[in-house]
Amino acid sequence: MNSLSTPPQTKFPLRVSSYPRIWDEPRFKDRPTRPIIHWGIQAPQRAGPLALPGSYTVRIGADGRTASRPLSVLKDPAIPTTADDLAASHRTLIRIREGINATVDIVNRLEVMRRQIEDLGKTAAGRNGAAEALSELDRKMLDIELKLVSRTELHSDDKWYVEAYGVYLNLVWLAGEVGTGAGDVAGGAEFRPTDASLQTLMEQEKILAGAKAEFDQLVTKTVPEFNRRMSGQLPAIAEKVTLLP
């Protein structure tokens, strides 16, 4: 049996050194970024929510030309789930994906700024408190980041199980639970999400909303104030830059 998936969640690259000489590891050497690595999350990272039964249009483009064909997605008759329950599952998975993507966006932007701070810190010693100011700004950014990913997740090493997950991995595993599986989680895309899954999603969305509010304050007030205060001593910390793949 084949199925049709909607676009998957986005994945974010890490840019900041979580421990000394991490970029000397062969798997990261000469690379500008590295991933979060954790056993079992590959399936929900690659697969988007399953499309609901219905009529779709497939478009293919090449050499400036496009072609389209109708496509019908049929419900597997072996699945007794009602259309309403399938729709509830789909809506929940879309919410999870949106939460993951919002988390990825915030962490991406924090990592871009924190990498600038890390690079500037290598030459800021002795510049009238510049190193201390950079360290304080980085701490504020890391405080927000650690609401979304755990400190050990930032090591890009899946052998760590010493602290609770952040929003990112909680939502990734929830995507596997509600969706088509993750690791040793079988998944349940053909059923209505459980009350426990919906409660978990609401809890993670609340944490994410708080982190986003703090991030908005950071980029609209804290970083501009820092740049004004350190003008002439340090290059400005740029929040809007082109993200590397």
The domain tally of the chain equals: 1
Residue 240 counted as domain residue: no
3/232: higher pLDDT? 232
Give the CA-trace dihedral at 34, 38, 40, 43, to 10 degrees: -30
Please indicate, yes or no, if residue 236 is contained in any of the structural domains.
no
- The answer to the question of residue 13 being in a domain is no
pLDDT at residue 3 is higher than 80: no
If DSSP codes are grouped into helix, strand and coil, which group holds residue 54?
Answer: strand
CA 51, CA 73: separation in Å to the nearest integer? Answer: 8
- In-domain check, residue 77: yes
Rounded average pLDDT over 93-105: 94
Domain interval for residue 102: 22-229
Determine, yes or no, domain membership for 234. no
The whole-number average pLDDT for the span 218-222 is 96
- Classify residue 37: in a domain, yes or no: yes
Residue 241 lies in a domain: no
Task: State the average pLDDT over residues 53-75.
Answer: 88
Mapping DSSP onto H, E and C, the string for 55-121 reads: EEEEEEEECCEEEEEEEEECCCCCCCCCHHHHHHHHHHHHHHHHHHHHHHHHHHHHHHHHHHHHHHH
Count the Cβ atoms, other than its own, within 10 Å of residue 193.
Answer: 25
Q: With 90 as the cut, is the pLDDT of residue 227 above it?
A: yes
137's CB contacts (< 8 A; 6+ apart) are 117, 222, 223, 226, 237
| pLDDT at 24 > cutoff 80 | yes
pLDDT classification of 245: cutoffs 50, 70, 90: very low
The predicted pLDDT at position 243 comes to: 44
Task: List CB contacts of 213: < 8 A, sequence separation 6 or more.
Answer: none
In a domain, 179, yes or no: yes
User: Residue 125: is its pLDDT beyond 80?
Assistant: no
How confident is the model over 77-92, as pLDDT tens digits?
888 889 999 999 999 9
